[in-house]
Amino acid sequence: MSNTNSLIDPFGRNVDYLRLSVTDRCNFRCNYCMAEDMTFLRRQKLLSLEELYDVASAFVDLGIKKIRLTGGEPLVRRDILKLIKALGKLPDLAELTMTTNGSYLRDMSQSLKAAGISRLNISIDSLKPERFKALTRVGKLEQVLAGIDSALDANFENIKLNSVIQAGVNDDEVIDLAKFAMARGLDISFIEEMPLGEITSHEREKTKIMSKEIRRQLENVWDLVDSAETTGGPARYVRVVNTASKIGFISPISNNFCGSCNRVRMTADGRLLLCLGNEDSLDVRAIVRSFPGDTKRLQKEIIGAIKRKPERHYFNPKQVDIVRFMNMTGG
């Protein structure tokens, strides 16, 4: 079964991009992503690698063209390369990508490229070792920098850096982060913090910074030209004049990206989230475990769920409406 028009939501948007979380676990504890003392899912609650493959295959048959593997940190999932190799062989999948914190890339970049990953998004929120450790609570900047170098050596089709910016925390590094990316021929996206999960490390209302403020900083240094380019995700891009790089802005608070949303997310425990900022979901794990091998039933349920996809999210940085953390959502 292959139907490129099966996943149309009530607003006429063609859903062709699946963000597939393979674990809620991470070796970092970034302060905007999770609580410092997290309770992670028990193994039996996670979709197995075989279940993840079966679900992904069902989605591809329905018209999904791009899959991004996420977490948590996807590279902490045991035997993740087996899943990547299998997904990479799906004939109708146009693109298989991954978001990672970069800490495992020094040893895994070449294997990921060989297994079928074409593009990487690497998270890096500071270039200052002590600040990086404070933001991640446990991370070592040198590991991520070595991972970025390794990824460059592996010659992925594209590598993009992602930086979550917080006022009074790391907004003084916007220029340095952009220069770091451009010096390596990389793109970078600056992200407004999303109000997901109750955190105690900072008050989001005090640390919020909007994309227009970040852009203003950049325009003090470079000439920026709006670009219609897209990578299929939520970033809105500008070109930096006289460079090969582009800069993206992901603005869930100040300028939501819902109008062109082509995405759904699968959590590591098998919840199909129809919207990043909405709790309505389909329990895919229950379906695949109650009716193993019944692909038609699963696809029917997926199509039905897509017809419930909401028009947009309504994030409010002053309050937490979504109690799940980002690591539970799938980054």
**5 found inside a domain:** no
**12 found inside a domain:** no
Q: CB count, 10 Å around CB of 15?
A: 21
Tell me the residue range of the domain where 227 lies. 17-329
Any idea which of 67-76, 252-261, 269-278, 313-322 has the lowest mean pLDDT? 313-322
Give the model's pLDDT for residue 237: 96
How far is the C-alpha of 101 from the C-alpha of 125, rounded, in Å? 10
**253 found inside a domain:** yes
Question: How far, CA to CA in Å, does 276 sit from each of 33, 131, 195, 206, 240?
Answer: 14, 28, 11, 23, 30
Give the model's pLDDT for residue 38: 76
Residue identified by tokens 């109650």 is 290
Q: What's the mean pLDDT when you consider all of the chain?
A: 90
Query: What is the residue type of 100?
Result: T
Give the model's pLDDT for residue 253: 83
For residue range 112-140, list pLDDT tens digits in order. Answer: 999 999 999 999 999 999 999 999 999 99
Give the model's pLDDT for residue 207: 86
Q: Quickly state the pLDDT bin for 320 (edges 50, 70, 90).
A: very low
How far is the C-alpha of 252 from the C-alpha of 75, rounded, in Å? 26
Is residue 288 within 8 Å of 55, Cβ to Cβ? Answer: yes
In the chain, how many domains are there?
1
Residue identified by tokens 């200052």 is 128
Is residue 160 within 8 Å of 186, Cβ to Cβ? Answer: yes
Q: What is the pTM of this model?
A: 0.91
Q: What is the 3-state secondary structure (H, E, C) of the chain?
A: CCCCCCCECCCCCECCEEEEECCCCCCCCCCCCCCCCCCCCCHHHCCCHHHHHHHHHHHHHHCCCEEEEECCCHHHCCCHHHHHHHHHCCCCCCEEEEEECCCCHHHHHHHHHHHCCCEEEEECCCCCHHHHHHHHCCCCHHHHHHHHHHHHHHCCCEEEEEEEECCCCCHHHHHHHHHHHHHCCCEEEEEECCCECCCCCCCHHHHCCCHHHHHHHHHCCCCEEECCCCCCCCCEEEEECCCCCEEEEECCCCCCCHHHCCEEEECCCCEEECCCCCCCEEEHHHHHHHCCCCHHHHHHHHHHHHCCCCCCCCCCCCCCCECCCHHHHCC
Q: Which residue has the higher pLDDT, 201 or 306?
A: 306
CATH of the domain at 301: 3.20.20.70
For residue range 219-240, list pLDDT tens digits in order. Answer: 999 999 999 888 778 889 999 9
Give the model's pLDDT for residue 192: 93
Residue identified by tokens 């299929």 is 232
Structure tokens at 200: 């105690």
**8 found inside a domain:** no
Using the predicted structure, report yes or no on whether residue 159 has a pLDDT greater than 90.
yes
Is residue 231 within 8 Å of 120, Cβ to Cβ? Answer: no
**71 found inside a domain:** yes
How far is the C-alpha of 271 from the C-alpha of 287, rounded, in Å? 11
